[in-house]
Structure formats: C-alpha cells, structure tokens
A and B are shown apart, each in its own frame.
Chain A
Amino acid sequence: MKKYLAVFGTTLLVFAAFLTAALVVRGKEFARFPQSGLYFARTDSYYAYSEKTENPLVTVTCFEVKGGDSLLSYGDFAFLSGGTEYSPLDASILPVFTDAYFTRYTVQAVLDITAFPVGETVSLDGIRLKGKEGTEDFAIGALRIARFAGETPAGLGFSGYTQGAGNFSSYTVGVSNNGMLPVTLSELILPVGGGAETKIADASGTTAPLKDYVLEPGKTVWITATFRGESEFCFNYLKPALRCSVEGKASVFPVGGVSDYVTPMDREAIVRYLGGGAA
C-alpha cells in the first residue's frame, strides 16, 4: 500500500474515534435535558393599564431544546385566553443565550389595549405559534391584562417603585399626596397566583395593613406587597393598580411602570428548571 494511503487511512480512524467520542459526549449532555422542542417558562404576571395609556408590552421566556422545531421557524404567534386569540401589534424574539444544546429566547409583544374590555382582567394562559405546517399551542402560566377607566387623582404622585428583583418576594411603591384634599388608599391590586399581604408604612416607620388609609395632603407613605408562595424560579412582570377615593369618589388606576421579576439562571439552573417540567 502506498504511504499516503496509509496516512489517510490512519487519519480516518482518528476521525472516526473522535467523532464517536463527540457524539457520546453530545448524547450524554442532551440526556440532561427534556425531549427536543419548545418549553415556555410559566409566568405569573399582572399588567394594569389605563383606558387611555399605551398598549401593553408583555414578555415571556422560551427555552428551545435543540433537535426539534425552532421557535424562529414559526412565522407568527398570538396569545390565547380561553380559545380567544390576541394577536400582537408588534413583536420581537431575542435569543438571550444559545449553545449546542439549547437556546433561551425572550419573546416580547405589544398588544392592542383596545382589545381588552374596560374594568375586566383577561388572563392570557397560552401562546399559539403559527407556522407553515400548522399551529401549536403552549401553556405560559398566567399573563393578566387589566384595563381601568380611572385616572390618577390630582396631586397624587408616586415616588418610586420596585423596578424588579431576582426573586418574587415583594413590591414597594411610594405614594405622595401633593394635592389639597386627603386621599383614601383602599387597595393595591396585584392578583398574582400566591396572593399578597399588603401593608402601608408612614414616614415614622409605623406599619399597618392597607385598608382605607387616609393620606393627608403633604404626606408620603410606602405600600409594600409581600407575595406568598415564592418559588425557586420566576418569570413574572408586575404593573399593579391602586384603588383609592377622594371625597367619596372612588377610582382605580395603574401605578408606575412594569417591574421585572426574573430569576437569574446559570446553565445548571436552566437544566434543573426544564427538568422540573416547564411545559
């Protein structure tokens, strides 16, 4: 046999050996993940919007275990609520992380606020992916959209709110009465899954349950909602509403911006989360 054929034959053996080793390593790593496909993270979110304010921007997280359909292979999607579709006005799909085994996406969508009835809360519990070969529905937990007709009373301001956290523990917002009339604070509307215990604290640090608290002109208080049923992972977004009254006239209106409660996850945490039955 000619020498160069022997050399090439030897390298073929080396190629086969390392290819086998690579495939074994790949198979072993894939075994840590669930079956190939898409897995949407379960959210427990609440977005309160005024009748006249902007369209809601909602966010969900998707994990794609490689080897099956890719999220990007679908051309369109819509959110579902009891079989009713809510198509986004605009959407973006951002790959947050990708490697040989999985990709994490952040899916953001702008919804049409006028599609949601005033005074009601619509719970979007699924997402429908639409592709050339048909549609597929996935559960996303509960993404609640509420639309209120009320307006913020004159002089009532918010001196900051919780921007977000890595765990779903609490939400705080400062409320200042810069008007001429006392305002009665009745309820911070935050209907998340585990419920919340809401308290109010004044400048002296005295705390009390939030129930018909009269906020005098020139005063500031802080309302804190502590969530129950905290889990290891969260993919939640909050934009609560506040119920209050001025001179007996009640109104409900949204508070602050959207707070992000998304657990920072390393690779092992993602493997653990997906192994725990994300979808």
Chain B
Amino acid sequence: MKHDLTFRYNLLAVALVFLAFWQTLLAGFITTSALMTAFSVLSPLVFLGLPLFVYPAIAAKADGKKYAAAFAECYTVKKCRGGALIFGAAAGIAGYFAYLYLYSAAVCLHEYAAEQITLFGAFSADGTYALVVLTQGVFAAAAAELMFRGGSHYSGVLGLIVPVLFGMTLGYDVDVWLKWLAVGAIGITLTRRTGSVLPAVLSSVLFSVLGMTLGNFADLPFTFRLVTSVETALYYGLMSVALGALALGGCVALCMAARGGEKREKEKLSKDDVITLVCTVVMYALLFTVYQFI
C-alpha cells in the first residue's frame, strides 16, 4: 500500500523553517510588526507540527520496515467533507473567544480577590525545567498519539485529560498554557470527530489569527485590559465568565457536532504501540529540549 506523505513533509518543512525564523525574531533581528504578526499567526504550526509530524516523519524514514507502514496508516492526512472544515473554522473562532473571555475572567476575578489591579505573573523557577520538559514530552506525545490514532487507546476521561495537560505544559505562563490548551483540545477533538487533521489545522490557524488581530489591535468589551478599578474587575470578571461560558459551549457543541470520522473499535495496546509511544515521548522531550536552548 502506497502512502502519500507529501502533506506531512510540507508541514514539517514549514514548521522547521518557521521555528528558525521564530528564533531569529526572538533574537531581535526581525522587528517589523508585519513580520512579527505573520510569524505569530503561523505559530500553531510549530506546536502542531513538531509533535505530530517531526517524529513520525523521521521514524518512518529511519526504519521503513518496522514502523513505516504503521505510521503512514496513522499519519496520512485524510480528506474530509466541506462541512467538517466549516465546523473546524467555527470551532476555532468560538474557541478563541472562549479562551479570551475565560482567561479574562480569571485575571479580573483574581484582581478583585487581591484588591489590586495586577496581571498574573509568569512563574519560572530553577529545578522545574526538567519536570516541564518531561511533562511536555509525555503529554504532548500522548496527545499526538491520540490525535492520529483516533483515540482508541485514550478514550474517555484520559482522552480529555491528555489534551488539557498538553496545553498546560507548553509554557511557563498561564496565558500560554490556556492558549495551547484550547488549541490542542479543539484540534484533537476535531481530528477524532472528523477523522482528518485539516479541520484542526484550520481551527488553530484561525484561533491564532484572531489572537493576533483582536488580541493585539483591539480591546474587546469586558476584557481584563479595560479594567482600571477593583469594582470594574468584579463586573468585567462576571461578564467574562458569562461570555466565556457561552463561547465555550458553542465551541464544545461545534466539536461534538462535527462528523466524518470512522468509528473505530477499541484496540488493545500492542507491544509496538507501547514502543511507538515511548519513542515519541523521548523524541518529543528531546525536541523541546533543543527548542528551549536554540
């Protein structure tokens, strides 16, 4: 059976090139707002691309006999119906508003409780780095497996916990945690429901586009950036909860309503599955270690 890996290789190339440019951007060589915006919009491809395409592509190349067929089966991009793309786009938009308002609610209510206008601080400490890399490797890899194997091994509660942890371990900052939590959870759910990665990619790119445009160039009503007093923080916090819940409900309903994936029977974990998962975990942990240092 011949498997078409072109899409995966292309996305891998985009992810790696973007990664290189992203680091250049962070190093201060790129300062124009247009380029910064463009790179930030593409950033989901890095986070989706690395765990989901890098290792499988390398593994498939390295040992075609043992793993290539299995990986190609799992990772080949399948076509999807047009309706699935619409659901993906709508879920990405609703997901962004859910993220924005729920994060805003957390900041506002924290400000009200603390009786001062202050943002969450980024927390980073010596000694936590290894733990972060490990959890990123474990959970991100598990999420990758979940996404492309259809969730047969990670259904039920674990299937929900994994993407949550995946999102939470992608950064030290609460804002980043929540952002990638939302992107990851939406993408994985859409892939499971539609059987294709395309709605997930579309949703994550739209999520990021909204984050870059609305998030940076406009202050939406009732968001934490407009809070200037503790009294306003309580009002806006409650409004943010309300709007965030509405958007979250819409996003979840859209993800649940998406169709197109094949129903899979539950499989038992084989020895190869375990090896695959462990290898993916190790490779992803290494990738993130490299990413942290370059």
Q: Mark A90-111, 1 if CB is under 8 A from B, else 0.
A: 0000000111110000000000
Contacts across chains A and B counted by CB atoms under 8 Å: 74
CA distance A22 to B243 in the complex (A): 11
Are B239 and A22 neighbours in the complex by a CB distance under 8 Å?
yes
Chain A, interface SS category: helix
CA distance A25 to B257 in the complex (A): 36
Which residue on B lies nearest to A9, using beta carbons?
A: B249
Check A197 for interface membership: any CB of B closer than 8 A: no
Which of B171-179, B195-203, B230-238 is found at the contact surface with chain A?
A: B230-238
On A, residues with C-beta under 8 Å from B are: 2-5, 7-8, 10-12, 14-19, 21-22, 25-26, 29, 97-101, 267
Check B24 for interface membership: any CB of A closer than 8 A: no
**Please, which residues of chain A bring their CB within 8 A of the CB of B236?**
100
Are A21 and B249 neighbours in the complex by a CB distance under 8 Å?
no
Q: Mark B239-259, 1 if CB is under 8 A from A, else 0.
A: 101110110111011101100
Which residue on A lies nearest to B98, using beta carbons?
A: A11
**Please, which residues of chain A bring their CB within 8 A of the CB of B253?**
4-5, 7-8, 11
Which range holds the interface residue count of chain B? 20 to 34
CA distance A97 to B229 in the complex (A): 10
**Please, which residues of chain B bring their CB within 8 A of the CB of A25?**
234-235, 238
Which residue on A lies nearest to B112, using beta carbons?
A: A25
Query: Nearest Cβ in chain A — how far from B285, in angstroms?
Result: 35
Which residue on B lies nearest to A22, using beta carbons?
A: B238
CA distance A156 to B234 in the complex (A): 58
**Please, which residues of chain B bring their CB within 8 A of the CB of A26?**
235
Are B235 and A14 neighbours in the complex by a CB distance under 8 Å?
no
On B, residues with C-beta under 8 Å from A are: 227-229, 231-232, 234-236, 238-239, 241-243, 245-246, 248-250, 252-254, 256-257
**Please, which residues of chain A bring their CB within 8 A of the CB of B235?**
22, 25-26, 29, 100
- With A7-B253, A8-B250, A11-B249: A18-B231 Cβ-Cβ less than 8 Å: no
Q: Top 10 closest A-B pairs, CB basis? A: A11-B249, A22-B238, A18-B242, A4-B256, A8-B253, A4-B253, A14-B245, A99-B229, A100-B232, A99-B232
CA distance A100 to B236 in the complex (A): 9
Are B241 and A18 neighbours in the complex by a CB distance under 8 Å?
yes
Which residue on A lies nearest to B229, using beta carbons?
A: A99
Other-chain contact of B246, A5, A11, A267 (Cβ < 8 Å): A11
CA distance A17 to B229 in the complex (A): 23
Are B249 and A100 neighbours in the complex by a CB distance under 8 Å?
no
Which has the most chain A C-beta neighbours within 10 Å: B250, B252, B253? B253
